């Protein structure tokens, strides 16, 4: 019997089981098909393999019942025929011998099948034991795997929690970064607007400064011409008065009577001379004031030009660092005169605390000195260097060798 026939027989038995056939019917059908259709002697293993039901004691009973039916059917057919009595007896004896021989062969086959079944059972028990050992090993491995899985799940949950926290921190950091970028962009735009306004204001101040310089030059020329005319007028009027005074003094020696008159004229002439001199002094004072105004405007112009190069805040920061002594002579010298417009002169001398320092410029060099204690910064390359050397004695001493 090949595999296709075995599969077809199993399909028939499954259909019988679905229709409600019991174990005996399934075993009988399997024995009948094996014996009559395939010429195979039914055995417990074969029937059990086909029916997939029944125990080791039930299946042999079903096989014996099948043989009993076969024998009953054969006996009925022999008795039912028209055979003489002697032949029937001989046929019965023959059938009895055949039955005994068949039974003996069946017992031998049964014993063989039983031994095979015992061997299969022992092998199955051994396999079962091996399976149990493997099952125990697999179950232990499964428990260990479950423990590792639980640990991995706990670790995974912890990592997921940490990842969520990191994502939240990342989102918060990104939000803060976006806010910072937005704020910096706003501040940058505001600074750009402020720079444009400052540049516009600087341009307006430059125009105003140019107009003031022009007006100042005109006023200076006008006042200088007035002073010159006043001095010329005073000299013109004083010279005749002096000549007349000399003549009156000569006449006074001979003419005592005219002394009072000469004295009075002399007093008048001196008073007029004093008035002219006072007027000349006032004009000269006005000239000095205008010159001071010119100097202040020039300083303001230089400061405005310097402010156009460097910001006020940066210059103030550098001045504060110089006051704190955080910049060396080389760093101050490297700055040059870029922040001289923002440098404030000290109000008093750090040595005597009384004198007011004066800043003098000799060409491209500056010198800050105290008129009371004669403390001096020496010749410096910039106004900032002069103030720094004047305030700090160490810087002053360090700068003197270079200046010499």
- pLDDT tens for the 404 residues of the chain, in order: 677 888 888 888 888 888 888 888 888 888 888 877 777 888 888 888 888 787 878 888 888 888 888 777 655 444 444 556 666 566 666 766 777 787 778 778 888 887 888 888 888 888 888 888 888 888 888 888 888 888 888 988 888 888 888 888 878 888 888 888 888 888 888 888 888 888 888 888 888 888 888 888 887 788 778 878 877 787 777 777 777 777 767 766 676 665 566 677 777 778 877 887 787 788 788 778 877 777 776 666 665 555 544 566 777 777 777 777 777 777 777 777 777 777 777 777 877 877 778 778 777 788 878 877 877 877 888 877 888 887 775 444 444 433 33
Strand residues in 53-202 grouped as ranges (E): none
Among 97, 123, 143, the domain boundary falls at: 143
pLDDT at 78: 47
Specify whether 222 is located in the same domain as 108: no
Among the listed residues 336, 278, 349, 341, the one whose alpha carbon sits nearest the alpha carbon of residue 307:
341
Among the listed residues 56, 64, 65, 62, the one whose alpha carbon sits nearest the alpha carbon of residue 114:
56
Among 279, 307, 335, the domain boundary falls at: 307
In a domain, 373, yes or no: yes
Specify whether 8 is located in the same domain as 107: yes
Specify whether 44 is located in the same domain as 139: yes
Reduced to 3 DSSP states, what percent helix, strand and coil does the chain have, rounded to the nearest 5?
80, 5, 15
pLDDT at 398: 40
pLDDT at 104: 79
Q: Could you give the CA distance from residue 402 to residue 389 in angstroms, rounded to a whole number?
A: 12
Domain that holds residue 109: 3-143
Among 143, 160, 189, the domain boundary falls at: 143
Two tokens, residue 352: 């005597």
pLDDT at 337: 73
Specify whether 254 is located in the same domain as 272: yes
Specify whether 14 is located in the same domain as 115: yes
Q: Could you give the CA distance from residue 292 to residue 212 in angstroms, rounded to a whole number?
A: 14
Q: What sections of 255-352 are H helices per DSSP?
A: 259-307, 312-323, 329-335
Residue 258 DSSP one-character state: G
In a domain, 176, yes or no: no
In a domain, 335, yes or no: yes
In a domain, 179, yes or no: no
Two tokens, residue 324: 């704190």
Phi, psi angles (nearest 5°) of residue 358: -115, 140
pLDDT at 265: 74
Specify whether 290 is located in the same domain as 320: no
pLDDT at 179: 86
Residue 288 burial class via C-beta count within 10 angstroms: exposed 0-12, middle 13-18, buried 19 and up: exposed
Specify whether 248 is located in the same domain as 325: no
Q: Could you give the CA distance from residue 173 to residue 181 in angstroms, rounded to a whole number?
A: 12
Q: How far is CA 193 from the centre of its chain?
A: 30
Among the listed residues 367, 357, 356, the one whose alpha carbon sits nearest the alpha carbon of residue 389:
367
Specify whether 238 is located in the same domain as 278: yes
Two tokens, residue 104: 């003996």
pLDDT at 84: 61
Specify whether 123 is located in the same domain as 208: no
pLDDT at 259: 58
Specify whether 23 is located in the same domain as 109: yes
In a domain, 174, yes or no: no
Specify whether 391 is located in the same domain as 344: yes
User: How many structural domains compose the chain?
Assistant: 3
Specify whether 79 is located in the same domain as 26: yes
pLDDT at 298: 67
In a domain, 59, yes or no: yes
Q: What sections of 324-371 are H helices per DSSP?
A: 329-335
Give residues with Cβ within 8 angstroms of 187, minimum separation 6: none
In a domain, 39, yes or no: yes
In a domain, 157, yes or no: no
């Amino acid at each position: 019997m090949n595999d296709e026939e075995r599969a077809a027989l199993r399909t028939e038995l499954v259909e019988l089981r679905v229709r409600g056939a019991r174990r005996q019917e399934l075993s009988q059908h399997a024995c009948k098909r094996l014996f009559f259709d395939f010429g195979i002697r039914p055995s417990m293993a074969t029937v059990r393999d086909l029916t997939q039901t029944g125990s080791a004691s039930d299946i042999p009973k079903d096989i014996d019942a099948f043989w009993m039916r076969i024998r009953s059917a054969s006996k009925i057919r022999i008795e039912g025929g028209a055979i003489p009595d002697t032949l029937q007896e001989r046929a019965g004896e023959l059938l009895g011998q055949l039955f005994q021989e068949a039974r003996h062969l069946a017992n031998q086959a049964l014993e063989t099948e039983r031994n095979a079944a015992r061997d299969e059972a022992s092998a199955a028990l051994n396999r079962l034991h091996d399976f149990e050992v493997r099952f125990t090993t697999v179950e232990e491995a499964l428990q260990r795997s479950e423990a590792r899985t639980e640990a991995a799940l706990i670790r995974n949950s912890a990592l997921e929690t940490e990842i969520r926290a990191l994502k939240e921190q990342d989102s918060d950091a990104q939000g803060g970064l976006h806010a910072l970028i937005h704020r910096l962009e706003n501040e940058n735009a505001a600074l750009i607007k402020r720079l444009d306004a400052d540049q516009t204001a600087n341009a307006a101040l430059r125009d105003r400064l140019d107009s003031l310089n022009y007006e100042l030059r005109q006023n200076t020329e006008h006042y200088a011409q007035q002073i010159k005319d006043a001095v010329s007028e005073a000299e013109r009027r004083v010279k005749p008065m002096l000549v007349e005074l000399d003549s009156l003094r000569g006449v006074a020696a001979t003419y005592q009577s005219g002394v009072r008159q000469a004295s009075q004229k002399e007093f008048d002439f001196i008073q007029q001379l004093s008035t002219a001199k006072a007027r000349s002094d006032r004009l000269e004072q006005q000239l000095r004031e205008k010159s001071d105004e010119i100097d202040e405007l020039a300083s303001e112009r230089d400061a405005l030009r310097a402010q156009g190069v460097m910001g006020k805040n940066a210059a103030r920061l550098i001045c504060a660092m110089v006051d704190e002594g955080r910049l060396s002579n080389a760093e101050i010298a490297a700055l040059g005169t870029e922040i001289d417009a923002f440098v404030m002169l000290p109000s008093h001398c750090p040595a005597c605390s009384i004198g007011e320092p004066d800043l003098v410029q000799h060409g491209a060099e500056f010198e800050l000195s105290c008129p009371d204690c004669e403390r001096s910064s020496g010749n410096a390359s910039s106004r900032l260097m002069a103030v720094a050397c004047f305030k700090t004695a160490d810087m002053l001493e360090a700068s003197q060798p270079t200046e010499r």
